[in-house]
Structure formats: structure tokens, C-alpha cells
Amino acid sequence: MRHTATTTALALSLTTAATMTGLLPVTATKASASTADGLDRFRHQPLKWSACKDPKLADSGTQCATVKVPLDYSDPHGRTLDVAISRIKAADPAKRRGILQTNPGGPGGRGLGTPAILRAQMTPEVAAAYDVIGMDTRGLGESSPLDCGLTRATWLRSVGTDRAGFDESWRMAKSDADACWKKYPDILPHISTRNIARDVDLVRSVLGEQKTSFLGQSYGTILGATYAQMFPRRVDRLVLDSAPDPAAYWIGMQQVMGPANERALDDFAAWAAGRHKQYGLGATPAAVRATVEHLIRRAEAKPIAIAGFRLDDHMLPLVLFAFGTDEAGNEEYAGVLRQLIDAADGKPVEATDSLRAWLTFALRPQDTGANVDLAATMAIACGDVATPRDPGWYRKAIERARPAQPVFGPMVNGPVPCAFWKEKPREELTRISNDVPSLQLQATGDTRTPYDGGLAMHRRMRGSRLVTVPVRTHGLYDSAHSPCAKKAVNDYLLDGRRPDKDATCPR
């Protein structure tokens, strides 16, 4: 749910037995673990660190390596996958504490670049203490990627206003699921958050560390909480930035984004109304909202031609979803709406780079490789938990949502490929419930992981301290909104200090 559009609310994770490492309790001795679970050949593999393939990553000082992991942890002598990891080493080896593993969200968010992003937020003291480790999770990016030939994010397509739109979304969801299963029938059953958590722990072991710290954002908080549930004694320091409710996984997490994004639209409308002379979107909040809803109806009647794309009412809500995430981007959001309105009016428009990027993601993801990210999103979500298979369930959910969520309800309640998944998840969803100490950050106006869901995670992670920030954004540590939240994370990573009790940062 972060850094890429697949950061949609798919997130989540699961685990059954609170202390199972896949095959052994973490209370097992080192000797018994190394002989009983069959993973020695993975734990002792040599790593070859080198400059990352991506020139930008290489220029940042990030190194990359490949780790072999079992496709199926219950059959460690069987087929393997390649998992790509990255590293920025501790700035001062003499002050090094250990490793900080990371996940940027999604599921389906590529993680090799995360160490450079997070390193920029660290104080020199924190940067000196950790090797920051990134990972493209299994099936994604450089990690044995899945390419199902997807040309859209089916689960982010609004069904629109009529039955024909719903039926088309239903057919598309089935087509996407069938395409993946036809190509990867032996791999898909093993793409799951639990197996990703096992990969995280195997990387820890390969790196020679007894414990690991972890910083997860969005879906990464589900992965972090799952890791803490499965490997509680391996956790050093744990940061959960922008968490959803793990019990709502995953279709419920997507659905709660509807009300959150409608509130964000109203918040933006109040801002834009005060700037009507500049953007011409409406002189009152109600007028701005009416402008947006009217634009969607116009796109239904005649798709908007812009930047070589044709944007209809099924995909326009996704663009609004993307640009309404952060209140710091209100000016950009207003500019995008102005461009879309002008294009609908037939005026010549030169789309901004950001709008062009999102149109490419929504309408032509294969041009950028985002189709692989979409496949990973789908595989993890569908591999984690089963979802309803009755089309009537989705139609009823849409119609219940539509009156109060006219823009986003038909998008986040529509048919999903998991309704056509060929196999049920191999493992049951794990109930997150533990006392592992952690620090949690949550924004009150979050449109991806709404605040109420963050509170639910906080209750389940009973050892957590919550830092609340009254702002509309998603992802706090690497944002400019709250130096207070950033300081809380850096203090915790440096010396383990957390607030004595839950705290709220000033706006």
C-alpha cells in the first residue's frame, strides 16, 4: 500500500500458532533447529554483495545480493526461489547494533530501494547503528517475479453505475486469476505473507544475526506483526508505520478505504473551495465535490482523452484515489483535476509527469513493469485468505456503499480475482495477538490504512506504543509532516526509548 499503486489495501498477513517458525518453535535450541527443519543448506549459503542493477540504487551506495529460499518450507529439499535483498551498511562499524529489515508496503511494493529512502530519515547516530536491509518479496521485482500478463489492476476498477460495468469487472477478475494459475500453478500456492515472514527470518540467519529489527510501512506492518507472531524471540526493535486492522484482511481492508477516501475528498474540497479563483473547481466544498462527481459522469458518457490515454468512469476514481492521499499534495491534486476537466472540454492539455505516470499504471502497466507488481499483489492477497465467490455478495456490497460513497464505493467493493482463485490458502490466517514491544505511527486522516484500523492493530500488539499524527497522509516516517513522529522512531531505534504512554504529535 505504499510507493506503488498496488499499495491499495491489500495487505495482510496471517499466522496461526504464535511461536511457530514454520516447523519448529522458536524456543528450540540452535542445534535442534539446524538439524530438524532442514534449512541448513540455506542458512550457510554465501552471499555475493555487489552494486545493484538499478543505477540509481548503485549511486546511492546500495548493494544487492540474492538469497536462495525454499519454495515450500515444508519441503526444504525441493524447489527453490531467488529472493533479492539490498543493503546500506552501518555508517560506523564500531557503533553497529545489528540489522534493520524493511518492507515498504503493498503487498507488491518493491523493497530494494527502501534502505536508501529510510536512511535519509535517520539521524547520523541511527545510521551508524544499523545495516538497513531491503527485499523484493518472493514473486516480485528481482525475486523470481511473476508475470501473468496483467494489463490492469482489476480490484481497483470501479464497476461504474450499471450492471454491464459490474459484469465486465467480474469477467476481468476471472480472466486475471485464470491467467496466473495457467502460468504458475506450482508457485502460487506458496506466495503468502507467512512464507514471506519465513524468508525474512532466513535472511536474518544468512546474515549471521541472532535478532533483527524491522520497520514496516502499510502492508509492511502486517508483515512485521506476522513476523513478531511467528518469531517473537528474534525481534529486536519493531516499528509499524501506518497499520491496518489485521482482522479485516483483506477484502475488508479494501472496503474501509471507501469511507476514508470520501472523507479525504471532502477535506480536499474544503481546501479547494478557498482557492476557486485559482483552480475554478467550485466556490464551496459542496460545489467542488459536485465538480468531481460530474467529471466522472462525463467520463462515463465520453472517456477523457489525455496524454495518449482514454480515461473512463471505471478508472478515473483510481486517479482520484491516488492524488488524494496526502494533504501536502492538494495543489497537485487540484492541478490534475483542472487538467482533466480541460481535457474533457476538448482543450489541449500537456499532462504533468505525475499524472502521466498514474495513467500509465492504471491503463498500461505493462509499459513500466508494474504488471509484475500487480501480479505479486494479487498472489499474496489471494494466497493469504479466501474471499467470497458469489457475485451477489459484491453487488450487495456496492449498493450498500454507493449512497454514502458515490466516488469510491463502486471501486473498493467490486469483484476481485481472489473470488476465482483455484486453491484455498495452504495455511489459515494467523491471529495477531502478542506482547512484543513495538512503536506504531498512525495518521488520523490516512486514506489507505484508516485510523480505526490502526487502533485495532495497536490493541492486538499489546506491547506497542502508539504515536498519533493529526494529518491526512499515508506513511509518516519518511514524510515531512511530523518531525515529532520521525524523532520518536529515531530515538527508539537508537536506544530503545519509546514514549511512556501513547502520544499525539502537534499538527
pLDDT digits (tens, 9 = 90+) for 462-501: 999 999 999 999 999 999 999 999 999 999 999 999 999 9
Q: Is residue 306 in some structural domain?
A: no
Q: Is 11 within 8 Å of 249 (Cβ atoms)? A: yes
Q: Is residue 43 in some structural domain?
A: yes
* Tens digit of each residue's pLDDT (9 = 90 or more) over 424-463: 999 988 899 999 999 999 999 999 999 999 999 999 999 9
CB atoms within 10 A of CB 365: 22
Q: What is the CATH number of the domain that holds 125?
A: 3.40.50.1820
Helices (H) and strands (E) counted in the chain, each on its own, are 20, 12
* Tens digit of each residue's pLDDT (9 = 90 or more) over 317-366: 999 999 999 999 999 999 999 999 999 999 999 999 999 999 998 899 99
What's the N-to-C CA distance of the chain in angstroms?
Answer: 24
Q: What is the CA radius of gyration of the chain?
A: 22
Q: Which residues contact 179 (CB under 8 A, 6 or more apart)?
A: 148, 149, 150
Which of 137, 73, 22, 14 lies closest to 386 in space, CA to CA? Answer: 14
* Tens digit of each residue's pLDDT (9 = 90 or more) over 254-272: 999 999 999 999 999 999 9
pTM (2 d.p.): 0.93
> What pLDDT shows up at residue 154?
87
> What pLDDT shows up at residue 15?
26
* Tens digit of each residue's pLDDT (9 = 90 or more) over 270-307: 999 999 999 999 999 999 999 999 999 999 999 999 99
> What pLDDT shows up at residue 35?
55
Q: Is residue 494 in some structural domain?
A: yes
> What pLDDT shows up at residue 178?
98
Res. 4: pLDDT tops 50: no
Helix axes 219-230, 451-460, angle to 10 degrees: 10
> What pLDDT shows up at residue 507?
84
> What pLDDT shows up at residue 21?
28
Q: Is residue 11 in some structural domain?
A: no
Q: Which residues contact 363 (CB under 8 A, 6 or more apart)?
A: 152, 309, 310, 311, 315
Q: Which residues contact 93 (CB under 8 A, 6 or more apart)?
A: none
Res. 5: pLDDT tops 60: no
Give the mean pLDDT of 59-88.
98
The grid coordinates listed for 378 are 494479487
> What pLDDT shows up at residue 24?
30
Q: Is residue 244 in some structural domain?
A: yes
Give the mean pLDDT of 67-75.
98
- CA torsion 344-349-353-358 (nearest 10°) is 10
> What pLDDT shows up at residue 57?
96
- 101 is in which domain, residue-wise? 30-148+186-250+428-504
Helix axes 316-323, 353-363, angle to 10 degrees: 130
* Tens digit of each residue's pLDDT (9 = 90 or more) over 167-178: 999 999 999 999
Res. 6: pLDDT tops 50: no
> What pLDDT shows up at residue 430?
86
Mean pLDDT of the chain: 93
Q: Is residue 341 in some structural domain?
A: no
Q: Is residue 441 in some structural domain?
A: yes
* Tens digit of each residue's pLDDT (9 = 90 or more) over 211-246: 999 999 999 999 999 999 999 999 999 999 999 999
Q: Name the pLDDT band for 10 (thresholds 50, 70, 90).
A: very low
The domain total for the chain is: 1
Place of cell 491503463: 363
* Tens digit of each residue's pLDDT (9 = 90 or more) over 11-49: 323 222 222 223 333 333 343 445 578 999 999 999 999
Q: Is residue 334 in some structural domain?
A: no
> What pLDDT shows up at residue 429?
85
Among 15-29, 119-133, 408-422, whose mean pLDDT is lowest?
A: 15-29
